[in-house]
Each structure stands twice: as C-alpha cells, then as structure tokens.
Amino acid sequence: MNETPIIEVRQLTKTYRVGEVDVHALRGVDLEVQKGEFIAVVGTSGSGKSTLFNVLGGLTPPSTGSVHIGGKDLSHMTNAERTNLRKDTVGFVFQKYNLLPTLSAEDNIKIVKYIGGHGTDFDAPFNEVLRLLGIAERLKHKPRALSGGQQQRVAIARAIVNGPAILLADEPTGNLDSQNSAAVLNLLKDLNERLGQTILMITHDEEAASYAHRRVHMRDGQLLQ
C-alpha cells in the first residue's frame, strides 16, 4: 500500500503581475515527495525554484493548482494554520545563514526550542542533531568565529531541532567553497539517512544535487522528472 505523499503538488501555477506584464513563474508543476526522501530541485536562475519553495513553505499563495503538505490542503488553511505550518511542519534553510550574532552556536539552536514551546527538555533527537553537526568543540562560539560551512550547519540544526516533517533548503551551499559545501551536504545526507529527515533542496549545482536520492529539473516554470 502506498503512503500518502508528504508533499503533493498538482498543476501548480504562480503568476506575478509586474506593472502591465504577467510573469509566469510556475506553469503547471506536479510533484510528489514521499516521507524520508531527499530530493534536489535543479534549475537555472529564473526557472521558478524559489517560487516553488515559497509556495511549499506557505510563504507565497499559489495562483492555481493544489498543494498538500502532510495530507493537508494549503489553499484551505487559515493564516493561523499557515503560520503553524511554518513553525511546526516545515524547517527552512537559506543561502544566508541568518544566525543571531550575539548568541553562541548552541544557543542559536536552543532558542528555537524555547520559542517553539518545547521547553527546556533537550531530548535524545536534539543531542543526536548536535552530534551529527560535527562541531561539538565550537558550540560555545559565536557565529563570527565559525566558518561559513559551520554556520550553515548550525542553521540546518536550528531548522530541524523541533522535528519538522520537511526540511526546505534553498541553495544551502550557494555561499560556500567546495570543502564547506561538502561538509554541509554530508550533514544533510546524514540527517536524511540517520534520522529519516525528508529534505527538498534547491540548487543550481549538479555536484550538490548528486547527494540527493532523486533530482528533478526545473525549466521555465515546469518540472521535468
């Protein structure tokens, strides 16, 4: 028996109105992602990757078509439900790490647990995340004392520490050299293989995409699978 996909996108379109011109960023996208998959969405600049990411994360409303996340129809969600989706179901990682500069690496991760209402109970999964981070000796350091790759790994830990069903990563290695990119991609792979984290990663880098189980190509607002 097939499980319900964790992400199910049907005939999704998104059109932006820019002055007098319609920009068709997504033109009928279909996508199914099963729980535990690690998928790379590859495509050139302007192909619609970030728009897809923003729609999946409930940040941008689609024009037409449907998106189900964890079996729930995004278009039928209230604003409050969409906020909860961003808080509990989807973890985000961006090209820029967006860490708080005055907090240590460890507190950057822990603060999300406080905000998320999960209290101070730092359970086994949290400790496993810290272990997989591979920067145990640097956790007390502020972000500026960490390399870009280390900062991105902290940002990834922060994104998943509340156990989101899906991790959306938009160009997570876009600012990194090849050594730091490999460290970040290996962390994503470990999280997927060891914790079963579902990951959707956007990239224009084929090398980065090779870490995923499956890659789909985006061109002119359409997904070629």
Ligand X SMILES: Nc1ncnc2c1ncn2[C@@H]1O[C@H](COP(=O)(O)OP(=O)(O)OP(=O)(O)O)[C@@H](O)[C@H]1O
Binding footprint of ligand X on the chain (CB under 6 A):
16, 18, 23, 25, 43, 45-51, 204
State which residue, 62 or 143, has the beta carbon closest to ligand X.
Answer: 62
In the complex, the smallest distance separating the C-beta of residue 138 from ligand X, rounded to whole angstroms, is: 30
CA distances, 34 to each of 7, 9, 206 (Å): 7, 12, 22
Distance, in Å, from the CA atom of 9 to the CA atom of 30, rounded to the nearest integer, reads 5
Distance, in Å, from the CA atom of 158 to the CA atom of 93, rounded to the nearest integer, reads 9
State which residue, 92 or 126, has the beta carbon closest to ligand X.
Answer: 92
State which residue, 44 or 75, has the beta carbon closest to ligand X.
Answer: 44
State which residue, 46 or 61, has the beta carbon closest to ligand X.
Answer: 46
Give the residue among 209, 197, 146, 144 at the shortest CA–CA distance from 168. Answer: 197
In the complex, the smallest distance separating the C-beta of residue 158 from ligand X, rounded to whole angstroms, is: 22
In the complex, the smallest distance separating the C-beta of residue 126 from ligand X, rounded to whole angstroms, is: 32
CA distances, 16 to each of 20, 123, 137, 156 (Å): 10, 43, 46, 30
In the complex, the smallest distance separating the C-beta of residue 186 from ligand X, rounded to whole angstroms, is: 23
In the complex, the smallest distance separating the C-beta of residue 28 from ligand X, rounded to whole angstroms, is: 14
State which residue, 46 or 196, has the beta carbon closest to ligand X.
Answer: 46
Dihedral (CA of 198, 69, 151, 41) sign: positive
Residues 92, 172: contact at Cβ < 8 Å? Answer: no
| Contacts with 224 (C-beta within 8 Å, 6 or more apart), sequence order | 216, 217, 218
